[in-house]
Chain A
Amino acid sequence: MRFAVRCTRAIALLWVVAGLSACGTGNQQPVASVSTNSLSFSATSPDATTPSPLTISASVSPGTVSVAVLHGGSAIANATYTLSGTAAQIVVDPAAPSALGAGVFHGTITVTGYSCGNPGCSQLVSGNSQVINVTYDIPPIVRYVAPYVGVATGSPLTASGSVIIRGQGFEQFPVQNVTFNGVSASTFSVVSDTEIEASYSLTLPTGSTYPVTYPVQIVAPSSPQPIESDAKLVIVQAPSYVSTTLPYPPSVTGVDQLRYDAERQALLVVATTGSGTELLRYAYSSGSWNTTPATVSSATLPSLANLSDIALSTQGGELLALSPQYLTELDPGTLAIKTQYTPGPTPAPAGVYLKNLAVANDGNAIVTTGNGSSASTPLYLFAVRDPAFTQNSTTPSLDNATPGASADGSVVALQQGDPSLASSPPVYQYTASSETFASTAAAINQGTIAPALDQSATRIVLSGIDVYDSSFTLLGKLPSKTLAVVVSPNADCAYTFDSSGQILAFNLITGMSGGPFPQAGATTPVSSPGTGGAVKMAISPDGGWLFLAGSSQIVVAPAPTNQCH
């Protein structure tokens, strides 16, 4: 009887089971489907703007409790999605090309549906996932070539030289050649992902109109996209100047800086006047110098008052002019003012002014500051390509630093301090290939003469007297009476102008005993530039001509180059 009762109860329970099983919404599968399983992004270069986001549509079945959209891989900056019922729109944002550099990058987006794993749904289980593979192609870019001016000589006219090519992605896709307007480089070597050393030997077409521009390009067949190049080698004829003088406007009382624009055959001068400063441009055209310079001053733009320094950008497209609070970009051909910038991201402290600048081959201008006393003040980098002041982790604060750059822009030497200091502060260098500052083995209390370097920074003259090699080991000394100095592009000769009124040549290849370098020659310019104040000196890229700007005038004089060989 008891067994019968229990059997009856069991049957009742099974009936309950059957009844319960009739309820519910039916089976649902937590399956996600997506409109595509692959996405591709591409940018024209690491400097390009970020490509537009792409959208994927996805659908999930009603049985899905939860949907996760997860992403991984460097190609994807973010993946966001919106749900409307069981439909999802997934927006995939690619990473900024500047954050990735060149290469082929990957990412994955995983869309997963989750469903309940137990009664009460206190347990979730993964359904299947849809994997969307993302690829992102960014080809290399060639940004700069330095020095960007080469010189054609001989007959037929040929130009040869060595350059440093800067860009990004040179190690991402094998570089099989470097070309100058389609002409293969004589030699090239990929130094790093951002640097190639190359040499060229170009025969100029007969009847060329100078300057002749040679676009610089790398050949990397595996690059997924055409390679963008902004680098142009400009070939000029070796100057055929004659010794001459160029007068200042009457208001000029002195000179603060002199630069030679080899591409445009012009002299750019920051001159002191009774009311401040003026930027002067003397152009050479049709066989003679224009003795009436184009001028820009605070009358043109008030913030240009008290200019302290000027420099051409790495590719020569911009003239950078420094005044106490501003860096102003001007057109180097017309002196038309473009844009002004103030230091950042940390503004210059109160009382600190922009002092000097020099340009490296990575596109950065190194800008030093001062505050009128012997104290450390911040340095800045000014990126010409994406104009803005920056500072990196190695950017030091220096004591009234004065920079000098090699013509290939590989090194900027920074001397600092002043003769009154009891101990000599270290000399710093900015290495363009690594974009870092570091102190060097040299220490010197700077004088009034800015660092002078040859094209490749194998000879570095500090304070116009001490000559160092590329590792800042002292090689020898120049006369203490030196007022201005330049180093020939090939580093064999230093040319000084001193208080004797002569241009002296010193052989920097021999006699490197730490003592005085042997004098290799001397010449007297047609007239004195004036020694009542600072004297500034520049040299043409072929090393054949020297330019002196003093308190009275500008002097153009031939360099006695052959006396150093």
Chain B
Amino acid sequence: MKRLFLAGLLLVYGGSALADPAAVKSTHYQIGYESGDINTVGGSDSRVNAVDGSITLPLAGYLGASVSAFYDHYSMAANFASLGSGLTLASSLPQCTVIDKGLSAGLFVRDPSVGRISAGYGAGQAMSHCESTFLASGTARLDMKDYSAGAQYYFSRFTIGVSWNQTRFNAFDRFNSDSLTGSWYPTNILRVDLATYGQDLKNTYSLGVEFQPRFFDNSSGLWASYTRRHQTVTNNIIMVGIRYYFGRRVDLLTRDREYR
């Protein structure tokens, strides 16, 4: 029902906009590297290093498409000292290496003066390289399928976005998340994001900035984010990254609303 609703929304909006083709001005490429620390309060830190890339291309009129890929390398903490009160932990803190990689593709319609509606599908795989088992598969490998839909509304220097995402792990339970994101562009080269999440990511909030400095000649962007997830266990996630953009040199606001 939900997917039908989203598909209808896309078609109606895309059809009405066919007269003014401006979803993606030209094909946009970007690659990025990011690194971060995932802290479990009272426990140990996990580390992640990742590379990703995406292509955004115009299809017709307001209709655009995107293809992206990622490769993440995690050193996952597996220790939680506060539960070991009075206990002696092993001399070395155990870590678990997990490789996460995936591909995704999506369609969207966009009017740069109004907003964007998108739907996407992705497939990924996580592989544990320690004594770790994914519950969904019962093995060290987890195959994932990801369905997503989202909408953004452009309002002056503000963007309000909502998204829905469902990840299916083999035959296991689905992982659902909703988000509401507010973005502000104090200048054309700086964006500040505030996001809150629901469902399985409930009580999760994030603050992010992306900066496209002049001295990079609009070819690269730096970004950072802080996410706090407060459930039974509180996680603090700090990520920093750099992105390189191929092709047109445009400011960040323009890139977000007209190219990617």
Contact = CB atoms under 8 A, between A and B. Distances in A.
Interface of A: 6, 9-10, 13-14, 16-17, 19-21, 23-31, 37-38, 60, 62-73, 79-81, 83, 85-86, 106-108, 110, 112, 114-131, 133
B137 to A, nearest CB: 10
27 contacts: A13-B151, A19-B2, A19-B5, A20-B163, A20-B164, A23-B199, A27-B202, A30-B233, A64-B135, A66-B132, A68-B133, A110-B94, A112-B76, A116-B201, A118-B201, A118-B227, A119-B167, A121-B124, A121-B167, A123-B237, A127-B233, A128-B42, A128-B83, A128-B233, A129-B78, A131-B79, A133-B88
B200 interface: yes
Given A86-B135, A116-B200, A123-B72, A73 B90 contact: yes
B175 A121 contact: yes
A66 B134 contact: yes
A120 B148 contact: yes
A86 B136 CA distance: 10
Given A9-B115, A65-B136, A66-B134, A127 B178 contact: no
A130 B81 CA distance: 9
Interface in B74-97: 74, 76-81, 83-84, 87-92, 94, 96
Contacts of B166: 23
A121 B115 contact: no
B155 interface: yes
A126 B38 contact: yes
B199 A130 contact: no
Q: Chain B: interface secondary structure? A: strand
Given A23-B164, A24-B200, A128-B80, A16 B151 contact: yes
Interface string B138-177: 1000101010110101010000101111110100011111
Contact of A27 (B2, B130, B173, B199): B199
B165 A126 contact: no
Nearest to B202: A27
Nearest to A112: B78
Contacts, number: 245
Is the interface on chain B under 10, 10 to 19, 20 to 34, or 35 or more residues? 35 or more
A66 B70 CA distance: 20
Contacts of A117: 38, 227, 229, 235, 237
B241 interface: no
Given A116-B201, A118-B177, 16 more contacts: A9-B114, A10-B155, A24-B177, A29-B233, A64-B135, A71-B131, A72-B91, A83-B133, A110-B78, A119-B201, A122-B100, A124-B100, A126-B40, A128-B42, A131-B89, A133-B87
Interface in B86-125: 87-92, 94, 96, 98, 100, 102, 104, 114-115, 122, 124
B48 interface: yes
B62 interface: no
Nearest to A20: B164
Nearest to B45: A126
B96 A112 contact: yes
Given A83-B133, A131-B80, A72 B201 contact: no
Contacts of B90: 71-73, 106-108, 110
Contacts of A23: 2, 164, 166, 176, 178, 199
B225 to A, nearest CB: 10
Which 7 pairs of residues, A with B, have the shortest CB-CB distance? A72-B90, A24-B176, A129-B80, A70-B94, A68-B132, A108-B90, A24-B199
A7 to B, nearest CB: 9
A107 B87 CA distance: 11
A15 to B, nearest CB: 10
A129 B142 contact: no
A130 B198 CA distance: 27
A20 B177 CA distance: 9
A126 B235 contact: yes
B144 A121 contact: yes
A108 B179 CA distance: 39
Contacts of A37: 83, 87
B83 A130 contact: yes
Contacts of B72: 122-123
A64 B169 CA distance: 11
A26 B144 CA distance: 19
Nearest to A14: B162
B90 to A, nearest CB: 3
B259 interface: no
B80 A112 contact: yes
Given A108-B89, A120-B148, A20 B200 contact: no
